[in-house]
Chain A
Amino acid sequence: MIQYEKFSLENGLKVLVHTDKTTPIVAFNLLYDVGARDENEERTGFAHLFEHLMFGGSENIPNFDGPLQEVGGENNAFTSNDITNYYITLPKQNIETAFWLESDRMKSLAFTDKSLEVQRSVVIEEFKQRYLNQPYGDVWLLLRPLAYSRHPYKWATIGKEVKHIEEATMDDVKAFFYRHYRPNNAILSVAGDVTKVQIETLAKKWFGDIPAGEKLVRALPKEPEQLLERSLTVERDVPSDALYKAYHICSRTDENYYVVDLISDILSRGDSSRLYQRIIKEQGLCSNVNAYITGDMDEGLFVLTATANDGVSLEQIELALLNEIELIIEQGVTQEELQKVKNKMESAQAFGNTSVLNKAMGLAIAELIKDADLINQEKELYAQVTGEQLQTYAKRIFKPTNCSTLYYKSKK
């Protein structure tokens, strides 16, 4: 049970406080409700480029990292299709430094041309390092536009192409900042040996005078129901053939989220899971097989991936995977299997809660999904899932017409 308190400032900034007296470290997590899904299709990769620019100095503080390191702190950030999340850990006695730094960059960035120029290059190198110069690195650049025809999940966080990043202008940057990086679009979560009174005082002092922005209502194009099977075959310079199958599933806020998460666990969590046992161990078809959900805020994907052993065709593997899907639809799962994945889930959550940073981040994300208390309710929500629900939902999503398949072949 993670105890927490919650309050809001007049400018709309939501604040969550969790007290953990056992640690000398405080975690300070600031989540902005903006991700790649909020980008213009002609300007993709912007939310992520922006994350980089947030380290290029703010109105009153020329360098973000230096002053934090000086007080013994560390920080980082990540961007997803849904959110941009900034986090700091630092010694508890220096917590005010985090408020000073984060509030100044929320108030206003420095917007220097040099910072934009350099971060454009850094992001282009990141694009190369993570997506182009890696075997199978471009899978998601191919799979997203195949699975999504309208929803902005059709492009990756890094962007559709390098060109969009190269073309970003300072005007774009400023407009994006003043639209999305406002207090009413953010959730602050602090965890550690702190009190609500202390955090409330600091939050008012440092964030209180930042004006609220326009209230944003997200109206993203909804992905239409997929009616026809889709597939794409590519050849690349990789050692083995690989298969990717993506099925449309519910959003993170849907009650079936817990059901479909457990379906993926039954298939591939741990060495006793069905896919590992049958496809790798018994049938010897693959060196690697996985099932997971993307867990996106809007309607996401259930993904099956497999890397073929030499001499095994992707068609054979596909048949084997479909057979496993069929077994769930026809016969469901056993009580023992279901209890097993629920126990693993409970354990993963309990171990996650051993870090203040995970707790701070978890609270902020839960608040964004629905309510911070979700973090305490999820154990029960998973526990309540029944075998019948699993079978019913599997039947609903695992249809050929709901699937996009990528055949990624080795150029040999």
Chain B
Amino acid sequence: MILDRKTPPIFQEINNVNVIPAEELLLKNKLLLGYINAGTEKVLKIELIFDTGIIDSPSPAVAHATAYMLDKGTSKYSANELATKFDSLGAYIGAEVSYEKTILTVHALSRNVEEVIKLLLEVVTNVVFSEQELKTYVNNQRQKMKVNLERVSYVAKKRFPALIYGKDHPYAATTELEDYDELKLADIQAFYSTNFLTEQTRLQVAGDVNQGVLNLLMSSFGQLRLKAAIENEFLPSNLPEAKKLKIKKKNAVQCAIRIGKPLFNRSHPDYVKMQMVSTILGGYFGSRLMANIREDKGYTYGIGSAVVPFRNTGYFFLTTEVGVDVCEAALKEIYYEINRLQTEEVTDQELKLVKNYVLGSFLKSVDGPFAQMDKYQLVKDNRLNYTYFDDYIATVKSMTKEDVIHLSNSYLVIDSLSELVVG
């Protein structure tokens, strides 16, 4: 029998995705511990999540420096001693800050977990911020930023939030080179002492989490002294009118393009469907923008779009880098594709494809204990519950052709989009 290579094999649609809810323990000091015991390797990921980030800080430079310095020395150990201890245990420690939170993460081998937890507790209880560490940090960051400012894509990413939100908006805050000259250790200490280790702090652990690990975490982190949380009220400010901005960069061989506008957070009724619209436009390899601007015209190596949610707001953007000679042509095609979404119905075939693609990505995004833990974090960060994911799947499946036209006409009106070109 000759093999039929033209007809695709029969496939099954994804009907349900098993999101395993994390279990929770409330420690005696009110610290909430979320945990997932799963996975095949003898490893764990422990995260301490502080409910404070760039929007709560006096400046993004302070928020970033504080996060960087969280594991750079305690009253007992110098930065080097700490790093040597974690490294010797085969553990990785690091902190990251975003607009809304700061996360201190440790990756550890099960066989060393007891010592790692002890050390992590030392870091959290006895952190010391030193001038010497700040000096190293400032120097390295300044150099790094100077290099980054030579990149058109970096400049576009850095300047875009202020364009769509207005420069004084909390989600438009960004660090300038001069800010490093102003950075004071006292500001970092003050930010840390008021905003960290509040009752909103959470602990998460995923991987090889047996009862022994839980006991260790309860007895050690249960002793942390937590202060009452300060709720920062989010005051929506007036958003500026959409505008076009061109930032010149001499000798650039490509220009970076960013186009977009403020939208909404995950709780908005149109959030999931707008994500679908963005996926159709530029959210995957076969998207409209990729098909036209990369695969048909060859103007770019890549182009994409996304809806980014924050706790209180969100935004839509699309981004690409194209040859300077085809910048105008690329812009024309981008707006052509947005217009096409607003005026032509998507085919059943395309809509079905995007739905399946989105559900497949979702399935992949819950693969393994660390990915499952990210879902728990999403629920906690956004003050949602696990039914969010069932709703998500149902909403994806219920999306119609009319929805695409309606939403792209509601939220992607071309005159409402700001445009930034760097190059």
Contact = CB atoms under 8 A, between A and B. Distances in A.
Interface string A76-104: 00000000000001110110110110011
A340 interface: yes
Interface string B265-306: 000000000000000000011100000001111111100000
A284 B133 CA distance: 11
B211 interface: no
A74 to B, nearest CB: 7
Contacts of A270: 83, 86-87, 92
A25 interface: yes
Contacts of A355: 367-368
Interface string B141-164: 011101101111000000000000
Contacts of A280: 136, 140
User: Which of A93, A125, A206, A284 has its CB near the most chain B CB atoms (within 10 A)?
Assistant: A125
A240 interface: yes
A25 B84 contact: no
B253 A119 contact: no
Contacts of B359: 72
B205 to A, nearest CB: 14
A134 interface: yes
A81 B40 CA distance: 33
Given A66-B353, A100-B9, A354-B43, A119 B139 contact: no
A351 B357 contact: no
A97 B8 contact: yes
A354 B136 CA distance: 34
Contact of A239 (B41, B90, B146): B146
Given A70-B356, A125-B254, A339-B88, A288 B80 contact: no
B229 interface: no
B43 A125 contact: no
Interface residues of B, number: 78
A22 B12 CA distance: 19
A70 B78 CA distance: 54
Contact of A350 (B14, B41, B254): B41
B186 interface: no
B5 A71 contact: no
Interface string A174-197: 000000000000000000000000
B214 interface: no
A132 B253 contact: yes
Nearest to A96: B9
B139 A284 contact: yes
Contacts of A350: 41-43, 109
A343 B321 contact: no
Contacts of B321: 125, 129, 133
A234 B9 CA distance: 55
Interface residues on A, range: 35 or more
B298 A74 contact: no
A129 B301 contact: yes
A347 B11 contact: no
A96 B18 CA distance: 22
A6 interface: no
A309 B367 CA distance: 43
Contacts of B14: 72, 91
A65 B80 contact: no
Contact of B12 (A65, A94, A281): A94
Contacts of B146: 239-240
Contact of A118 (B17, B285, B297): B297
A340 B41 contact: no
A19 to B, nearest CB: 11
B6 interface: yes
B3 A209 contact: yes
B299 A121 contact: yes
A288 B43 contact: no
Interface string A354-385: 11100000000000000000000000000000
Contacts of B369: 354
Given A104-B5, A133-B254, A354-B370, A74 B92 contact: no
Contacts of B232: none
B151 A134 contact: yes
A368 B147 CA distance: 38
Contacts of A351: 41, 43, 107
Nearest to A56: B295
A351 B108 CA distance: 9
B384 interface: no
A60 interface: yes
B367 A239 contact: no
B92 A281 contact: no
Contacts of B284: 69, 74
Given A24-B363, A126-B301, A132-B253, A272 B87 contact: yes
B360 A343 contact: no
A340 B84 contact: yes
Nearest to B250: A237
B367 A70 contact: no
B90 to A, nearest CB: 3
B398 to A, nearest CB: 17
A402 interface: no
Contacts of B88: 272, 336, 339-340, 343
15 contacts: A20-B40, A72-B357, A72-B363, A94-B12, A96-B11, A100-B5, A130-B301, A133-B253, A134-B150, A270-B92, A307-B143, A343-B109, A347-B107, A351-B43, A354-B39
Given A69-B356, A288-B143, A350-B43, 10 more contacts: A22-B368, A72-B359, A97-B8, A133-B151, A133-B253, A135-B151, A238-B147, A271-B87, A272-B83, A272-B84
- 5 A-B pairs with the lowest CB-CB distances in the bound complex, closest first: A72-B360, A121-B298, A343-B90, A287-B143, A239-B146
